[in-house]
């Protein structure tokens, strides 16, 4: 009888572990940058001031180019830190975490559009600040502003 109870517990444990392994909400610590409430200046002059406010708490940019190449930026401010990813398949450059934040924070800081900016003006800003090549096929942008308003943009040449 005792073997049978142990066997049941072992099966339950296996199912629990299998259910947790592909949790999409699980955070990869390599992709997180801790936010310090006490420091308003970067420790290293090469690092951006990650406590300087941006216009949004979530920013997802995907630019598609010919030959299945893309340029992607992911920025999400969470209560425990900032999750950041950057990938440019044209230059084979991929960064996550602090390295990605150092790369994209200055660009994100330059963005001035808000929830009421006309789409054409948002497109101009994205094209200019991210140096989008004329050969792009599609731009998808999803933004969640600091006030919680979410907007999606789809731009074509």
pLDDT in tens, 8-31: 666 765 666 566 554 444 445 555
Phi-psi sector, 81: left (phi>0), alpha (psi -120 to 50), beta: left
Q: Which helix (H) or strand (E) holds 94?
A: strand 93-96
Q: Which residues contact 121 (CB under 8 A, 6 or more apart)?
A: 113
Residues 134, 138, 141: CA angle, nearest 5 degrees: 115
pLDDT digits (tens, 9 = 90+) for 84-141: 999 999 999 999 999 999 999 999 999 999 999 999 999 999 999 999 999 999 999 9
pLDDT confidence of residue 79: 87
What is the reported pTM?
A: 0.73
């Amino acid at each position: 009888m005792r073997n049978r109870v142990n066997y049941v517990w072992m099966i339950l444990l296996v199912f629990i572990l299998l259910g947790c392994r592909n949790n999409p909400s699980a955070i990869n610590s390599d992709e997180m940058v801790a936010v310090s409430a006490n420091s308003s200046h970067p420790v290293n002059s090469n690092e951006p001031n990650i406590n300087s406010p941006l216009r949004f708490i979530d920013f997802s940019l995907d630019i598609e180019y010919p030959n299945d190449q893309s340029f992607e930026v992911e920025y999400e401010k969470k209560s425990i830190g900032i999750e950041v990813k950057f990938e440019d398949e044209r230059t084979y450059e991929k960064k996550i975490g602090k390295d990605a934040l150092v790369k994209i924070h200055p660009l994100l800081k330059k963005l001035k559009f808000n929830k009421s900016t006309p789409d054409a003006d948002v497109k101009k800003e994205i094209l200019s600040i991210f140096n989008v090549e004329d050969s792009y096929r599609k731009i998808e942008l999803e933004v969640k502003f600091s006030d919680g308003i979410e907007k999606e943009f789809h731009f074509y040449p």
